[in-house]
Structures are given as structure tokens and as C-alpha cells.
Amino acid sequence: MKLRYDVHNKYHRFAIRSAVTVASLIIFIYVWWIAAMLANKSVLPTPYRAFEALLHLIKDGDPVQKGRTLWSLIWLSILKLGKGFGLAFITALPVGLLLGNFKLFREFFSPWIEMMRPIAPIAWAPIFVILFTVGNGPVMVVFIGIFFPLLTNIIFGVQKIDRTLVDAARTLGASDWQIFTKVLAPSAVPYVMNGIKTGLGVGWMCIVAAELYNTTLSGVGYYIKFMIDCSRYDYAFAGIIVIGILGFLTTGLAECLSRVVSKRMGVDIR
């Protein structure tokens, strides 16, 4: 069998790729189906049951809490993700630029960072829910999940800056501030984008995990937990599918954006 393919026609290539993707999805569902049949337990519904529940969810909303639609669930999760992300971005950016540029700061703070970074963000969830209230706890979990990948990417980006570009700007008369705004900031952008990309993936994981705590009372994660408590596993799986699709869309969007930005900045960091 030929496992390598090399096709030069653009449409031809696209057709092959689409066919492979479709086949991959079909086989995925097939495997799921077999597993569900073999297990024969309500806790692992067949794909048919799960998608049926998903359709109901899309059409009629939450079967238990009347009046709550799928979209409002998704919106509540995205809102928390957005808040956590925004907070992480506005704090990581200045801190990253500072630590990237000044060795003393970097050396002082790196033990803090290296200690905090490996802690799974979700480990903070029970504490943050108490510390920052039920509404803001998950936001803070997202914040901590995104902050570190973003920070380390920015620090790395600032240190990778081509020093001759700074020299060139200086010989053309640029002041320290002009060097910062016209040379350092634009050269760090692709690295920031890379940080955003990893951050969004982690953030999406964090938000759902944080919502699984009973106390949070909103979002897709909470919905899944609630359905499991009600033994409606088919609806829980519908929620899991929604998370998978949204996660896929988020990282796909970030990837696209980062590619466009890298191209625009003329820097390829991959």
C-alpha cells in the first residue's frame, strides 16, 4: 500500500485530504460505537444516543433546567475564558517584556515562575472558588493556566530579538523608547502570538475543568457535571462533544491568526 502521496494538483490534493479526514471521523465513531456496545453500560452511550441528545440540546436546550439553551451555556464558558485570557494577557505582556529585557528581574523571578508553572491550574480551582467567589474562581483558574505559557513565550521572544536590528535603529537615531516601540515590540509579536495559541488551548481545558466543580453553577462544564449527577449520560456526552468542537475551533482560529501575523511580520518562528 502506498502510504506516501505526492500530488501536485491543488484540487486533487484537497480532495484526497478531505477524503482522509472524513474516513478518519467515520472510523472514530465506529470505534466509539463498538466500545459502547461492548461496555453495554448507560455511562458510555453509543454515538447515536449522544448525537441524538446533542440535537435535542441544540433544539430545545437543557432538558432539566428549562429555558437554558446550549448557546447560553457556551456563551457563559466563553465569557469566563475571555475574562481569564484578557487578564492573563494584560499582566503577562508587561511582565514578560520586563523580564525578557532585564536579567536581574529575570533571575529574581525565575524561581517563582519555575515553582508555579508545573502546578496543574485545575489544582487551584477549589481554592480559587473560595478565594474569588463562585463566579470568578474559574476565571482565575483560566488566568493561571494561560499566564505561564504566555509569559514564557514573551520572555523567550524578547531574548531572541536580533540585536543588529537594535543597532541599526540606534544608528538611524532612534531613542530608547522608539527602539522599544518600533523594534522590540514588533519583533516580539510572533512570539506573543505563539503564547496566545498555546494559552488558548490550555485555557479552554481549564475553564471546563473548573466548571466541573459543583459550586460554579454555569457553563458547559457545569452542565456536564449536572447531567452526570442526574444520570443523563447521553446529555453529558453531548456536552463533551460541544467542548471538543469548540476547543478545535478555538485552536484552529488561533493557529490561523498566528500564521497570518507571522507572515505579516516577516518572521517565521516555527
> In the complex, which residues of this chain contact other proteins (CB under 8 A)?
162, 164-165, 167-176, 178, 182-183, 186-187, 189, 264-267
Q: Smaller CB distance to other proteins: residue 123 or 168?
A: 168
In angstroms, how far apart are the furthest CA atoms of the chain?
74
Question: Helix crossing, 47-60 with 10-39: angle to 10°?
Answer: 100
CB of 56 to other proteins, least distance (A): 50
Cβ 146 vs Cβ 200: under 8 Å: yes
CB of 54 to other proteins, least distance (A): 44
CB of 97 to other proteins, least distance (A): 17
Q: Smaller CB distance to other proteins: residue 6 or 268?
A: 268
Q: Smaller CB distance to other proteins: residue 114 or 162?
A: 162
CB of 253 to other proteins, least distance (A): 22
CB of 187 to other proteins, least distance (A): 8
- Cα(223)–Cα(157) distance, integer angstroms: 39
Q: Smaller CB distance to other proteins: residue 17 or 264?
A: 264
- Cα(254)–Cα(249) distance, integer angstroms: 9
Say how far residue 1 (Cα) sits from the centre of its chain.
Answer: 37
Q: Smaller CB distance to other proteins: residue 165 or 257?
A: 165
- Cα(128)–Cα(19) distance, integer angstroms: 46
- Cα(1)–Cα(195) distance, integer angstroms: 40
